């Protein structure tokens, strides 16, 4: 509905949203969550998240596409971590790692990367990855059966499908097509929320100098930086149509 291409889906998005609620709360209980009342990073994440969520909800509803966000119950949290990372589970459950903030440097760049993660979620990219993994590693079992028979493995596949793996080398390969779609729709979502999409160019250039043993999903496909920047420049005129600066 968003990507305009046929997508492979073995699992129901509503089942994944249900699973996300549990997995999100477990993740938060195992990490140090920063409060927006005494962390300016968490306050920025909350502010940017609320703006993006509000503007895309308004947009899809007013264009008769409210179903795109069916079941969404947005949550935004920031955890204390040196890792440069962020992700969005099904249903709008977002986590930003505080290690990302020194790279974003400003709220517009934060909106670019949060828009990117939210775009993966809305385009159901995690569902595609989870569906493929269920076929390849679980013999095509239904999600509820897999959860009953192999709960630990199934939960691990879920986390890996959404870029939340913690083991080096355990990541599922990311599709370049998904990455390009997330870049494109992420730009539009940031622009709709009043953030200048042009900031994406210097931001992804800053990001390209970040490296680590266990890269976040947005670096793990090792996209050629030039290809990414070239694609962003190509999307820019469309994204700018959605951009009105907020006050
Ligand atoms: Zn990505």
Chain segment 52-74, per-residue pLDDT in tens = 999 999 999 999 999 999 999 99
With beta carbons less than 8 A apart as the criterion, state whether 155 and 165 touch.
Answer: no
**d(CA 148, ligand 1 centre) in Å:** 30
Chain segment 184-217, per-residue pLDDT in tens = 999 999 999 999 999 999 999 999 888 766 678 8
**d(CA 52, ligand 1 centre) in Å:** 17
Q: Which tokens hold the place of 63? A: 């264009």
* Residue ranges in the chain assigned as alpha helix (H): 13-29, 40-62, 101-104, 107-122, 125-138, 143-149, 151-161, 176-192, 200-207, 217-220, 225-241
Say whether 117 is catalytic: yes
Selecting among 117, 128, 179, 199, the annotated active-site residue is 117
Considering the entire predicted model, what is its pTM? 0.93
**d(CA 61, ligand 1 centre) in Å:** 25
**d(CA 92, ligand 1 centre) in Å:** 15
Chain segment 21-61, per-residue pLDDT in tens = 999 999 999 999 999 999 999 999 999 999 999 999 999 99
């Amino acid at each position: 509905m968003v990507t305009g291409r046929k997508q492979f889906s073995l699992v129901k998005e509503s089942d994944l949203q249900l699973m996300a609620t549990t997995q999100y709360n477990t993740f938060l209980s195992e990490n140090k969550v920063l409060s927006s009342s005494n962390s300016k990073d968490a306050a920025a994440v909350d502010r940017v998240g609320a703006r993006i969520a509000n503007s895309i909800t308004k947009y899809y509803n007013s264009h008769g596409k409210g179903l795109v966000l069916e079941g969404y119950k947005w949550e935004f949290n920031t955890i204390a971590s040196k890792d440069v990372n962020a992700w969005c589970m099904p249903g709008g459950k977002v986590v930003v790692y505080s290690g990302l903030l020194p790279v974003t440097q400003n709220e517009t760049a934060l909106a670019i990367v949060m828009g990117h993660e939210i775009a993966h979620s809305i385009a159901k990219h995690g569902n595609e990855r989870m569906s493929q993994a269920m076929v390849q590693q679980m013999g095509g079992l239904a999600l509820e059966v897999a959860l009953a028979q192999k709960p630990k493995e199934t939960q691990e596949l879920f986390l890996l499908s959404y870029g939340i793996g913690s083991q080096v080398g355990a990541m599922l390969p990311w599709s370049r097509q998904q990455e390009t779609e997330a870049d494109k729709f992420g730009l539009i979502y940031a622009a709709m929320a009043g953030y200048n999409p042009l900031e994406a160019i210097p931001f992804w250039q800053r990001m390209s100098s970040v490296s680590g043993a266990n890269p976040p999903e947005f670096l793990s496909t090792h996209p050629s930086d030039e290809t990414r920047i070239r694609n962003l420049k190509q999307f820019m005129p469309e994204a700018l149509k959605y951009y009105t600066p907020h006050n």
